[in-house]
Amino acid sequence: MWQTKFMVAMVLASSLVLVLFYSSLNLDELRRQKAFVEAAAAGAGAGAGAGPAAGAEAATVPAAAFWRNASATTAAYQQTSARPERRSEAVPVSISAGFRQAVPPSSAYWNRRLHALLKLLDSGGNVTESEALGWAGCGATSTEMLVTNIQDFGSYPPLYQGFLQGMECRDPPVLIDQPDKCASDGRKGDVFLLLAIKSVPRNFESRQAVRKTWGREGEYEGGLRVRTVFLLGRSPPEDPDLEALLTFEARYYRDVLQWDFRESFYNLTLKDNAFMGWAARRCPGVAFVFKGDDDVFANTPAMLAYLLSLEPARAAALYAGHVVAKASPFRDAKSKYYVPVSFYEGAYPAYTGGGGFLFSGSLVRPLLAVSRFVPFFPIDDVYTGMCFQALGVAPAAHGGFQTFDIREQDRQNACVHRGLLLVHRRSPQQTLRLWKDMHSPLLTC
């Protein structure tokens, strides 16, 4: 008899475990059971976020150097808060004269939209009230309106037409959040460097390589706190459904952010803007932000050393990377960088390559504010350059950013990579191998 009771108990216990496991993969259930999820995530990820506080993978920056340079971002360091979200006051918006002059008045659609918004700003209008209704109140711009304003709209590629129809829509809903990513316990201060890495749901292998190498979270020498988030939208409908796996990944690693918009090349600007809104709320005291792709190889210790070397004025208004200057739109419709003449006219501002760049955390809110008066542009790194130019912040060229790769004979050379901040692009396998070789005690450079 006891054997029968034992077997029944085992069956019931197994069934209960399975029910709990599968229900936990459901995003709605995760939100309703928030306390359970946070407790489970804390237990599962207790060892994953330890980070390179010391040892071969830690930054080799002495504590004295950190405190010597801390005045560069004193205000940011002092804004510590354990609250998971902080609502900020409105930031006054001022568009630089250089940006106004760089984009000429024209019959091109984007130019007209920009100058209409600038006129609204100059008249004292509030774009957040009259132009940007938010995601819930924003419907697709009608084809009739676009055809009326862009005579050759019908010749635009389908994805380009889709971008234009949703060009006014911002602030997409957050599907997966990490509200405590930048939380402070009052002793360690704010996050020094936030790594914001653009990814897509299917790129788990790339994310995992980043987690094990340059994107590893932790406290580096000098008490520098480094945190990582991956930025994702929804998979296109033609891709396999990975939502359950993504939810589990987010619970375990606590570094995935996802918004409710479709992943596409033309939605990268929307993704960047959504991240800025998230960072303004969740990481208001972050000192610096690195924004890049999940297929780059970055040298986090070298980035930290560079940031600590900055003079205060430079650190307060930093926008650094591989600078692309005097670029013009591609007019070839076969290129993914295609920009029709009827959409945009003029040259591009100087901007940093989108593979990866650094900027001051104190600029997050001002960038978000000016972006309300700069219409979305289909190429994300160009749009970022526009917003920085609108703030009056010019990009700073740094030879350590190689977004167009290095000489072929140097691509496996760990010594060469130790002197760089970023190289684009590397496979997950190459990233793991390079990182291991760079930190090997046997390496002599």
The answer to whether 282 and 179 are in contact (CB under 8 A) is yes
The answer to whether 110 and 344 are in contact (CB under 8 A) is yes
240-291: pLDDT as tens digits = 999 999 999 999 999 999 999 999 999 999 999 999 999 999 999 999 999 9
Average pLDDT of span 45-70: 32
pLDDT exceeds cutoff 50 at 11: no
Rounded CA-CA distance 299/58 in Å is 11
* pLDDT band with cut points at 50, 70 and 90 for residue 60: very low
- Which pLDDT does position 224 carry in this prediction? 95
The answer to whether 422 and 354 are in contact (CB under 8 A) is no
Residues linked to residue 423 through DSSP beta bridges, in sequence order: 297, 402
Instruction: List the one residue out of 68, 66, 67, 69 whose CA is nearest residue 58.
Output: 66
What is the share, in percent, of the chain residues with pLDDT greater than 70?
Answer: 76
Average pLDDT of span 22-40: 35
Angle at 310 between CA 304 and CA 314, to 5 degrees: 125
Q: Using DSSP bridges, classify how beta strands 319-321 and 218-220 pair: parallel, antiparallel or unpaired.
A: unpaired
Which stretch of 58-62, 313-317, 372-376 has the lowest confidence by average pLDDT?
Answer: 58-62
The answer to whether 416 and 396 are in contact (CB under 8 A) is no
pLDDT exceeds cutoff 80 at 70: no
Neighbours of 207 (CB within 10 A): 23
pLDDT exceeds cutoff 80 at 203: yes
Average pLDDT of span 175-184: 94
Average pLDDT of span 70-86: 33
Rounded CA-CA distance 364/353 in Å is 18
Neighbours of 134 (CB within 10 A): 12
pLDDT exceeds cutoff 90 at 91: no
Which stretch of 14-18, 27-31, 437-441 has the lowest confidence by average pLDDT?
Answer: 27-31
Across the chain, mean pLDDT equals 82
pLDDT exceeds cutoff 60 at 361: yes
Handedness of CA 289, 292, 294, 299 (dihedral sign): negative
Average pLDDT of span 192-216: 98
Q: Which residue has the higher pLDDT, 140 or 225?
A: 225
- Which pLDDT does position 186 carry in this prediction? 65
Q: Which residue has the higher pLDDT, 23 or 140?
A: 140
* pLDDT band with cut points at 50, 70 and 90 for residue 136: low
Whole-model pTM: value is 0.80
**Every domain of the chain and the residues it spans:** 2-32, 44-89+171-438
- Which pLDDT does position 135 carry in this prediction? 77
pLDDT exceeds cutoff 60 at 347: yes
- Which pLDDT does position 126 carry in this prediction? 64
Return the CATH number of 44-89+171-438, one of 3.90.550.50, 3.40.50.300, 3.10.270.10, 3.30.1370.60.
3.90.550.50
pLDDT exceeds cutoff 80 at 311: yes
pLDDT exceeds cutoff 80 at 25: no
The answer to whether 423 and 400 are in contact (CB under 8 A) is no
* pLDDT band with cut points at 50, 70 and 90 for residue 125: confident
- Which pLDDT does position 89 carry in this prediction? 61
pLDDT exceeds cutoff 90 at 45: no
